């Protein structure tokens, strides 16, 4: 698992699995956001990661967004989640780029 710090209190990662959740918690994260749709090729069903996150005492939000087709609704959902979830937050998708882009757009929403 490769974690990339994007901003204070926010980092991204490529696809994670339920077995990564303990290390994510140990790294100090309090919340996880999944931006990868379950039906995307190679995706780990978000429910598996969500169950592990809840068991570990972490917050979890499923905000699927299609790569290359981010919508204003995706940005709005990300902004809402970032305002509600306890940080630091780790968001993941296939490579981390989609989550980074959503964060940047949500941060500019102001």
Q: How much is the pTM?
A: 0.96
* Predicted confidence (pLDDT) per residue in 7-37, tens digit: 999 999 999 999 999 999 999 999 999 999 9
Crossing angle for the helix pair 97-108 and 72-84, to the nearest 10 degrees: 80
Predicted confidence at residue 1, as pLDDT, reads 83
In the numeric block, which tokens belong to residue 64? 């699927």
* Predicted confidence (pLDDT) per residue in 29-43, tens digit: 999 999 999 999 999
Predicted confidence at residue 47, as pLDDT, reads 96
Predicted confidence at residue 86, as pLDDT, reads 96
Nearest to 91 by CA among 40, 38, 43, 24: 24
At the top level of CATH, which class does the domain 4-108 belong to? alpha beta
Predicted confidence at residue 110, as pLDDT, reads 57
* Predicted confidence (pLDDT) per residue in 50-91, tens digit: 999 999 999 999 999 998 899 999 999 999 999 999 999 999
């Amino acid at each position: 698992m490769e974690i990339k710090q994007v901003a204070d209190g926010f980092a991204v990662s490529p696809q994670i699995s339920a077995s990564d959740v303990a290390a994510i918690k140990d790294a100090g994260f309090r919340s996880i956001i999944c931006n990868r749709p379950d039906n995307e090729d190679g995706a780990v069903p978000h429910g598996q990661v969500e169950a592990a996150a809840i068991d570990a005492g972490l917050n979890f939000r499923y905000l699927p967004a299609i790569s290359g087709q981010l919508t204003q609704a995706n940005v709005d959902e990300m902004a809402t989640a970032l305002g509600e979830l306890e940080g630091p937050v780790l968001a993941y998708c296939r490579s981390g780029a989609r989550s980074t882009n959503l964060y940047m757009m949500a941060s500019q929403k102001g």
